[in-house]
Amino acid sequence: MNNPSLMIFAVPAIALILVVLMFIYFLQRVGRKDVFKRLVFTILIMAFLFNFVWEVIQMPLYRDAPFSVAHIAFCGLASIADALMVLLIYLSFALVMKNPFWGQNLTLSMILMVMVVGGLGAVAAEMRHLSSGTWAYDSSMPIIPVVNVGLSPVLQFMLLPACIYYLGFRFIIHTVPTAEKS
């Protein structure tokens, strides 16, 4: 981890604004506000926890990323941004599908769409962070040819969002079946 600039906070700030706006939009339209709030909270908490574990586990794949309090705190901040992105993906799909509970019955095609969107977003984010010098990879990081970004952060956003959506609905399943589609 190099010294991050204020620019590193721009994308998460924009994501936060979009998440809040979409949350308000759906909250005004959904029939079961309690279920929707619980779903959003569950996705957010799970996304933070899963991404934090992933971030800490992949630390050795980054240059200058020792297991120190400062770097683990950086992983915590990154996990907050990751959680916002997971929620942004979910709410964006909800807008497209016109259903805030679209993840209740994930199909293979939905999972693949989430994986593609997450993977492309991760590639773009990694390219931006690498070019700005926010971080650099250790020689142990597997690199994806052509785009020259690390495999681990791309897999993170290809795998975790769909898992989080699935598990999030399983966690609140007793209230979601009665939820109205908006």
Close Cβ partners of 64 (under 8 Å, ≥ 6 residues apart): 1, 2, 135, 136
Closest CA to 118 of 68, 165, 72: 165
> Where do runs of H (alpha helix) occur along 32-146?
33-57, 69-97, 108-132
**What's the pTM value of the predicted model, to 2 decimals?**
0.88
Decide: 124 and 15 in contact? Cβ < 8 Å: no
Distance CA 110, CA 164 (A): 13
How far apart (Å, rounded) are the C-alpha atoms in residues 182 and 179?
9
pLDDT, the chain, mean: 89
User: What is the residue-level pLDDT of the chain in tens, covering all 182 positions?
Assistant: 445 566 667 778 888 999 999 999 999 999 889 999 999 999 999 999 999 999 999 999 999 877 888 889 988 999 999 999 999 999 999 999 999 999 988 999 999 999 999 999 999 999 998 998 888 999 999 999 999 999 999 999 999 999 999 999 988 875 555 444 44
Cβ atoms within 10 Å of 79's Cβ, excluding its own: 20
The tens digit of pLDDT for each residue in 60-95 reads 999 987 788 888 998 899 999 999 999 999 999 999
